[in-house]
Amino acid sequence: MARKEMMPGQKRFTAPAILGDVAILAWFVFSLFPIVWMVMLALKTPAEQTTTYFKFSPTLENFVTVLSERGTLLTSVDFKAALISSTINCVGAVLVSLVVGIPAAYAAGRWKFRGSDSLMFNLLSFRFAPELMVIVPLFVIYNGLGLFDTTVGMIWVLQLVTMPLVVWILRSYFEDLPEDLEQAALLDGYSRKRAFTMVALPLVRPGIAASALLAFIFAWNNYMFPLILTNSGSVTVAITKFLGGGGQAYYNLTAAAGVVGALPPLILALTIQRYLVQGLSFGAVKG
């Protein structure tokens, strides 16, 4: 690309270029060190939990403990149960978001209708709304309705995280899809519904996958909803319980739980890297 030649610090092996590489390297040490440290801490034996060595013989003992009955007895946190309920809640929330969000995204992407902008803006405004504003009344409502610490309750509230994301990402996918394709299908005698399911939907499959995975990551990483509306029924809440509270802190168990809890988002992020930027800014301030 010719343009690159004009960018600052482009020429190789000049002083600014080397300085730039050093700066970038420094950032990546800063960026990766905490993750490496957490993994190391998770691999140390319990006896080594307060040491600062970099040389040790790694063991998987902590992972076994965290995921077993023993870990539960030590810390009174059932991490395995939290892992399972986080998975169910997040997958459930994403599925509901897709079922509900795809039609809305299609409507908003294809037609300009009265209220479409305000529907979209309200969806986006939830992205910026402080969670506690809705959580406190929800907490009271949930206690009244018996939804506290239930799957239905969590799926409902996680919609706040997942649905806006799904709708905003998919709306731009549907907008970018040439309408002629569906018109052609209609002229071939397809019904509008079939034109949508047979033509439009398959074409936005990458968008659906990306938005679903990103929505899952955000739901998984959420802390405040499960903190208030469940009893440590999520990975993020369970992890903080390892840090102590009962007087005793289990540092390497905390680290092991942290590694396990961070794995699903990290793996998903690496698989959808290509779509991440668009998803993260999700239609940013479009319209």
| Among 58, 73, 76, 137, interactor with other proteins by CB under 8 A | 137
Cα torsion 36, 42, 47, 50 to 10°: value is 50
Told to check if 35 binds other proteins by CB under 8 A, we report yes
CA angle 42, 44, 45 (to 5 degrees): 120
Told to check if 143 binds other proteins by CB under 8 A, we report no
| Interface segment toward other proteins; rule CB under 8 A; list 57-65, 66-74, 125-133, 144-152 | 125-133
Smallest gap, in angstroms, from Cβ of residue 94 to other proteins? 13
Dihedral class, residue 283 (left if φ above 0, else alpha if ψ from -120 to 50, else beta): left
Told to check if 20 binds other proteins by CB under 8 A, we report yes
Told to check if 28 binds other proteins by CB under 8 A, we report yes
Q: Taking CB under 8 A as the criterion, which residues in 201-240 touch other proteins? A: 217, 220-224, 228, 235-237, 239-240
CA atoms within 13 A on the CB side of 190: 16
Cβ contact 233:226 at 8 Å: yes
* 78 vs 170, beta carbon nearer other proteins: 170
205/195 Cα distance (integer angstroms): 15
Smallest gap, in angstroms, from Cβ of residue 125 to other proteins? 7
User: Cβ–Cβ contacts within 10 Å for residue 210, how many?
Assistant: 22
Q: Taking CB under 8 A as the criterion, which residues in 266-285 touch other proteins? A: 266, 268-270, 273-274, 276-278, 280-281, 283-285
Told to check if 125 binds other proteins by CB under 8 A, we report yes
Told to check if 130 binds other proteins by CB under 8 A, we report yes
Told to check if 123 binds other proteins by CB under 8 A, we report yes
| Among 27, 60, 69, 198, interactor with other proteins by CB under 8 A | 27
| Interface segment toward other proteins; rule CB under 8 A; list 57-65, 76-84, 133-141, 146-154 | 133-141
284/276 Cα distance (integer angstroms): 13
Cβ contact 90:216 at 8 Å: yes
User: Cβ–Cβ contacts within 10 Å for residue 177, how many?
Assistant: 18
